[in-house]
Structure 1
Amino acid sequence: MKLRSSLSNLLVEIICLLFVLLFVYAAISKLLDFEHFRVQLGQSPLLSAFAGWIVWLVPGVELLIALLLLIPKYKKAGIYAAFALMIMFSAYIFIVLHYSSFVPCSCGGILEKMSWNTHLLFNILFVVLAAAAILMHDGSAAKKNPKGTFRTAIIGMSFSVIMSIAVMVILFLSSEEIMHHENPFIRRFPNHPAMLAGQQDLHFNSYYFAGFSEGRIYLGNYTNPLHVLSFDPELKKRSTAEVTLETGNKPFKMIRIAVNGSYFYLKDGTVPIVVGGDTKDWKADKEFKGMPYFTHAEIMDSTKVLFRTNNGKNRINTLGIFSADKYPKTVYKKVLLQKQIDGVFDTDGLLMYSAQMHKIIYLYYYRNEFIIADKNGKLDYRGHTIDTTSKAKIKVAYLKNHTESTMAAPPLVVNANAAVFGNLLFVHSKIRGKYESDILREQAVILDIYDINKKAYLFSCPVYNIGDQKLSSFIVTATHLYGIIGNELVAYEFKDIIKKEIQNVGLKDN
């Protein structure tokens, strides 16, 4: 009996020393590479929202448990704490692998070299060791009622398992709710949500995206406004076209081309004019008569144009919808854009239209806000990007007795660019989030992805530079993101993590 008891005590001591080594090593690794550990926690699908205090709590708890295991008086408490902590770590990995939206990086040290499944098996091994240590420790300590002590140990371990798993589930659900709907400006970067699938040298940096339709991507050219360049989705086959104007002489100044379905449109708000034609012959012969002046316009369908104008009182930006039916009609939606400072610069932004969801989207440049409205201009809701710049940080100077205005200082640009496809809004954010490295922002442009139907932030995707050139513009389809980086046209194919977020209702690739 004494021999068995001595063997049990020896095994308990060995297990305790293994846990001490594990926890001390893990804690010191985290503290020595603290910033890296904090970034990894910020990317965790379970702990993102709580990374600020968990980054200190985890190594602190690991060191505390190691200390308890070294003190005979508190050894039992230390073993139970080690058992509970390993259950939490195991539950964390199981939830990450089976229920989270993406799998983040590992947690540092030598354990970072393991795959997630190997890491789970490693944790389960230590759970078993802790359980064995509890049973052996309590069994050797029991003299009068070993069966009762064994039953108590089983009940204690069962309670620890239930509470540990419950804690991780609550953290997961709470963090997901906070990250998607009340984000504290923490970005999530899944592993490789899009992969480079094609690249073409455009030779010039004067191209812009005119649209994606019927299996081809179209580009216009600022310096050659009637020239159209197109590619297949893989960017392997290119073709060119020249638009022929058949609407008489017009004082064009800023022609922009847009392709929608099998039709193309020329837009120039300074004339103002919108004229369309068929991509079969590229003849611009169908004018939208009665089109008002505009600073930006998006084609909604063959008879409707969504536009922004500043031609009214005080030149304040206003959205409107023009209908080119038998009796042309313009309806202004003055309540959509909200003034903060001057109504001109502070409401400047990007106008978009999701043909798949029939939604109007307006994203402000200088504040963390976007507008979602239905195809008739009725406001659905005012959403927010995940940064904290709620008021435009601009200074406006007025000239010529307040008849003209200009920026008095460089503004803080919050949202530089954006594109929409279906229910997904891709936003190029200029603001650095929590736990983000300066190196990443130097090497890439960050695109934040939102679900406009769920009113939720999903995750972010870096688009890396080519040489010293950054992404300047982009569009999105059901399967790809196409971007212009310097003179290069690039195509990134979406992986399942993005594809599964695109809602299928009424989607078409244009």
Structure 2
Amino acid sequence: MKLQITKSNIIQTVVVLNILLFTYAAVSKALDFHNFQIQLGQSPLLSAFADWVAVAVPLIEFIIVLLLLTNKYRLLGLYGSFALMTMFTAYIVIILNFSSFTPCSCGGILEEMTWTQHLIFNIVFVVLSGLAILSNAFNRFVIGYLSILATSAIGLVVALFLTSEDIIQHRNNFVRRLPAQFSKQHEIDLGYNSYYFAGIAKGKIYLGNTTAPLLLTEIDTSLKNKKELVVKLNNLNLPFRSLQLQVYAKNFYASDGTVPAVFRGKTGQWYATQMPQVKSKFSNPVFTDSTSFAFRTHKANAENVLARFDEKQSKTTTNPSLLQKQVDGIFDTDGILNYDPNTNLLVYLYYYRNQYIVCDAKLNLIHRGNTIDTTSKAQVKVAFNKNRNEKKLAAPPLTVNKNAYLHRGLLFVNAALMGKFEDEKMWQQASLIDVYDVKIRSYIVSFYVYNIDGKRLSRFAVDGHTFYGIIGNHLVSYKMSYLIHKRLSL
């Protein structure tokens, strides 16, 4: 009789504890559902399934509570609590040992626990549920049921983890990975907001200035020391309209595609002579070596096309198949061209659709990749002005990608669209950067760059493990996370 009372007390105590736990957990998730969904969206295990997991978990918890409250189905409720807590325990083990980063915990009093405390807490409830089930009937069949249930629960979590990783990296459904914010290293007030990155070479950052086209500002990577450099050209008798400077390790260039003109000089000497063979008008030039550069120009029908100039052969070649027309071939193919000297890759990123093009320095297509948003067709409306025989935008287009920078095979994209499970307030306070590995067409991670004095990130560059951004009048540097470090070292 004493033995029966002890077993009954064990079962009743465990049932009450589980009812309290799951009632509290389910209610807290339901009352703050949006935040719970956002937290799941940032989970390295469940990002791809956050939509239905956010609904399924509190629903299952409510069902378990109902089962535990009913004498007829109480044992089934204990099996359910055992399985669910085993899944939660497996989830934490993977988070702590196998995930790419550790997210925040999910809600209520439990949010104050560390992940290790969470793990211990969950294990205790797994053991309690198991003891209650075994107290009801201790035999080899029950032990077998518990073993199968635990194995299945762990297997399901592992399968979700592996599947979610593959989806997030290669078939992303617009769910971003946003781990802890990068730490700001240095900051300097430039005094003006007209600066742009001309290049980073030999441990120096070079900034051009749109209001002083032939002035370079050289700053060390600690952002403490700067000096002004005056660039000299051998021909100033040209109708310059948008002269831009680009600095590389050995050479620097001054170019204006509206003239058209390209000047080349030695880095450190700051005197450049004109390359006389350049005849075609161009935009967005990137210099792949000392005698050739890639750029965007126009076909006879005014549609955009990517081209390459080779000084040695004194000719310009185009690859009309690279840019793919969707609406008009002009606005819908607008974008930005980047070159990475470390991998010898060119990447063209569209502004108004979720696609980038990867090719070699001679404009041979390697492959096409996609950014994680879902805008596959450019949303642009074009009107034709008969009097001036020209096309113009009839309405502001939907911008998908604002800007980009290519470094060691990683494409850093200033995204313009908010993804799933993201906080709208954060988008008002910061700019968002998505990072892709263009060599294998995979998404890696995202991070915020916070506004300064109400101003947003306007331009940025990457060198080594450091991200540099121009925000209003300020130049700032951030140390990037291990997620990016390990990709850069591959």
Find the aligned partners of 2:19 and 2:222 in 1 and give their Cα distance: 54
For the pair 1:468 / 2:454, whether they are aligned, the reply is yes
Give the C-alpha shift of residue 69 in structure 1. 1.6
Give the C-alpha shift of residue 272 in structure 1. 1.3
For the pair 1:15 / 2:14, whether they are aligned, the reply is yes
Find the aligned partners of 1:29 and 1:396 in 2 and give their Cα distance: 49
Provide closer, same or farther for how the CA distance between residues 371 and 402 of structure 1 changes in structure 2, counting only shifts above 3 A. Answer: farther
Instruction: Look up the match of 2:167.
Output: 178
Moved more, 283-292 or 63-72: 283-292
Give the residue type in structure 2 aligned to 1:442. Answer: Q
Find the aligned partners of 1:331 and 1:162 in 2 and give their Cα distance: 61
Instruction: Look up the match of 2:347.
Output: 361
Find the aligned partners of 1:16 and 1:329 in 2 and give their Cα distance: 81
Instruction: Look up the match of 1:144.
Output: none
For the pair 1:281 / 2:280, whether they are aligned, the reply is no
Give the C-alpha shift of residue 249 in structure 1. 2.8
Contact 1:423–1:503 (Cα < 8 Å) also in 2: no
> Please, which runs of 5 or more residues in structure 1 have no aligned partner?
140-148, 505-510
Instruction: Look up the match of 2:399.
Output: 413
2:254 paired residue among 244, 250, 266: 266
Give the C-alpha shift of residue 434 in structure 1. 1.4
State the SS of the aligned residue for 1:339: coil
Instruction: Look up the match of 1:145.
Output: none
Contact 1:206–1:223 (Cα < 8 Å) also in 2: yes
Find the aligned partners of 2:26 and 2:377 in 1 and give their Cα distance: 41
Give the residue type in structure 1 aligned to 2:473. Answer: N
Name the Cα RMSD after superposition.
1.4
Give the C-alpha shift of residue 451 in structure 1. 1.0
Instruction: Look up the match of 2:63.
Output: 64
Give the residue type in structure 2 aligned to 1:238. Answer: K
- Within 5 Å, give how 1:302-451 maps onto structure 2: 302-310=290-298, 312-325=299-312, 327-400=313-386, 403-451=389-437
Contact 2:444–2:483 (Cα < 8 Å) also in 1: no
Show CA shifts across 1:31-88 (max 9, x none). Answer: 0101000111111111111111111110111111122122222121111111111110
- Within 5 Å, give how 1:25-424 maps onto structure 2: 25-139=24-138, 149=139, 151-192=140-181, 194-247=182-235, 249-285=237-273, 287=275, 289-310=277-298, 312-325=299-312, 327-400=313-386, 403-424=389-410
Find the aligned partners of 2:479 and 2:221 in 1 and give their Cα distance: 10
Give the residue type in structure 2 aligned to 1:115. Answer: T
Contact 1:214–1:262 (Cα < 8 Å) also in 2: no
Find the aligned partners of 1:234 and 1:21 in 2 and give their Cα distance: 54
Moved more, 116-125 or 30-39: 116-125
Moved more, 278-287 or 380-389: 278-287
Give the residue type in structure 2 aligned to 1:410. Answer: P
Give the C-alpha shift of residue 290 in structure 1. 3.0
> Please, which runs of 5 or more residues in structure 2 have no aligned partner?
none
Find the aligned partners of 1:388 and 1:89 in 2 and give their Cα distance: 31
| Aligned residue-pair number | 490
State the SS of the aligned residue for 2:378: coil
What TM-score, normalized to structure 2? 0.97
What TM-score, normalized to structure 1? 0.93
State the SS of the aligned residue for 2:301: helix
State the SS of the aligned residue for 2:289: coil
Find the aligned partners of 1:102 and 1:239 in 2 and give their Cα distance: 40
Give the C-alpha shift of residue 289 in structure 1. 2.9
Give the C-alpha shift of residue 292 in structure 1. 2.5
Consecutive aligned runs of 4 or more in structure 1 exceeding 3 Å deviation: none
Contact 1:272–1:292 (Cα < 8 Å) also in 2: yes
Give the C-alpha shift of residue 125 in structure 1. 1.3
Provide closer, same or farther for how the CA distance between residues 38 and 401 of structure 1 changes in structure 2, counting only shifts above 3 A. Answer: same
State the SS of the aligned residue for 1:318: strand
Give the residue type in structure 2 aligned to 1:104. Answer: P
Find the aligned partners of 1:363 and 1:37 in 2 and give their Cα distance: 34
Find the aligned partners of 2:55 and 2:207 in 1 and give their Cα distance: 51
Give the C-alpha shift of residue 286 in structure 1. 5.7
Contact 1:187–1:460 (Cα < 8 Å) also in 2: yes
Find the aligned partners of 1:259 and 1:288 in 2 and give their Cα distance: 20
Find the aligned partners of 2:276 and 2:251 in 1 and give their Cα distance: 14
Moved more, 282-291 or 250-259: 282-291
Give the C-alpha shift of residue 337 in structure 1. 0.5
Show CA shifts across 1:198-219 (max 9, x none). Answer: 1111111111110111111110
Find the aligned partners of 1:276 and 1:470 in 2 and give their Cα distance: 33
Contact 1:417–1:429 (Cα < 8 Å) also in 2: yes
State the SS of the aligned residue for 2:132: helix
Show CA shifts across 1:360-412 (max 9, x none). Answer: 11111111111111222111112111111111111111123572121111111
State the identity as a percent. 46
Give the C-alpha shift of residue 346 in structure 1. 0.9
